[in-house]
Amino acid sequence: MLPSFYSDWKHVFKLDPDREIDDDALEAVCMSGTDAILVGGSSGVTFENTVDLMSRIRRYEVSCAFELSDASCGVPGFDGYLIPSVLNTRRSEWLIGRHVEALRDFGHLLPWESVAGVAYLVLNPDSTVARLTEAEAGISNAEAIAYSQVADKLWTVPILYVEYSGTYGDMDLLRDIRAALQSAQLIYGGGIDGPERAAQAARFADTVVVGNVIYDNLAAAIATVHAVKEAVKE
Ligand SMILES: CC(C)=CCC/C(C)=C/CC/C(C)=C/CC/C(C)=C/CC/C(C)=C/CC/C(C)=C/CC/C(C)=C/COP(=O)(O)OP(=O)(O)O
Ligand SMILES: O=P(O)(O)OC[C@@H](O)CO
Ligand SMILES: [Mg+2]
């Protein structure tokens, strides 16, 4: 498989266009040595707040990708675009329905060479994304592994995202999902509050995403970069 814009990502910071970040904090994040900034959120993302955040990140050399979760937010100028689908949603619109409508209407505008689909497994029932998409987050570990295998082995998705947004996940499950995958890049995100948890997740995930702690404890967030880069993958 040809390498893509996300293939080398070990550590990623996720910035939400719907949240405030001052210039000093943004500089610390962009100059931290992270592999990329991923712009995205599950609610309150608009064309305007996305353009605003992208243009501020563009002052720095760091790669910058956008997670497109609303068809009205097709902002050009990112290095790459991730398009999420939720595997364990009860509503097919979040798996495929909205995507079909968006591609029908706007697909001709997409820079396809810089686009990748992402299969999300949403596992924190209290997260915004779980509520929004009515995800069946309380599934057993065997079911979570089966979902992952459907995405990876049957559908050959490029990226599987194990999403615990807002809480730290089950690392034994992450290990077992890792072991069950054939080719998908494994992204982990959720509840990483500093270097220890970041290093643990990096043992099993190809890519570790750090989000909310940027806004809650910037120093702890910055420390996750080194922790992930130095972690030994199992
Ligand atoms: C030039 C250019 C780029 C043109 C683009 C043209 C265009 C718009 C083409 C259409 C492309 C397309 C197929 C778009 C998909 C449209 C769509 C609506 C897809 C649905 C996506 C989806 C499943 C959304 C649900 C939410 C989700 C999974 C979001 C991902 C990000 C995420 C989970 C963030 C975490 O959320 P957060 O807010 O941080 O949560 P917490 O509160 O818990 O922290
Ligand atoms: O905000 P946190 O809990 O770090 O989660 C990161 C990311 O997976 C959210 O989509
Ligand atoms: Mg968030």
ipTM confidence = 0.96
Q: Whose CA is nearest to atom 8 of ligand 2?
A: 189
Domain extents in the chain? 11-230
Burial 193-213 (b: 16+ CB within 10 A, else e): bbbebbbbbbebbbbbbbbbb
Cα gap 143→147, rounded to integer Å: 6
Which ligand sits closest to the CA of 76?
1
Residue 89 CA: nearest ligand 1 atom is 23
Q: What share of the chain is helix, strand, coil (3-state, %, to 5)?
A: 40, 20, 40
Statement: residue 232 has pLDDT above 90: no
DSSP secondary structure string for all residues of 152-173: IIIS--SEEEEE-TTS---HHH
152 Cα–ligand 3 center, Å: 25
Q: What is the pLDDT of residue 2?
A: 65
Q: Whose CA is nearest to atom 10 of ligand 2?
A: 165
Residue 213 CA: nearest ligand 2 atom is 4
Q: Considering the chain, what percentage of its residues have pLDDT values greater than 70?
A: 99
Average pLDDT value for residue range 29-34: 98
Sign of the CA dihedral 73, 30, 219, 208?
A: positive
Burial 37-49 (b: 16+ CB within 10 A, else e): bbbbbbeebeeeb
> How high does pLDDT run on average in the chain?
97
14 Cα–ligand 3 center, Å: 8
Which ligand sits closest to the CA of 190?
2
pLDDT tens, position by position, 201-219: 999 999 999 999 999 999 9
Q: Using alpha carbons only, how large is the chain's radius of gyration in Å? A: 16
Q: How confident is the model at residue 1 (pLDDT cuts 50, 70, 90)?
A: low
74 is in an annotated binding site: no
177 is written with which tokens?
């999902």
Q: How confident is the model at residue 76 (pLDDT cuts 50, 70, 90)?
A: very high
196 is in an annotated binding site: no
pLDDT tens, position by position, 97-151: 999 999 999 999 999 999 999 999 999 999 999 999 999 999 999 999 999 999 9
Which CATH architecture is the domain 11-230 placed in?
Alpha-Beta Barrel (3.20)
94 is written with which tokens?
């979040």
80 Cα–ligand 1 center, Å: 13
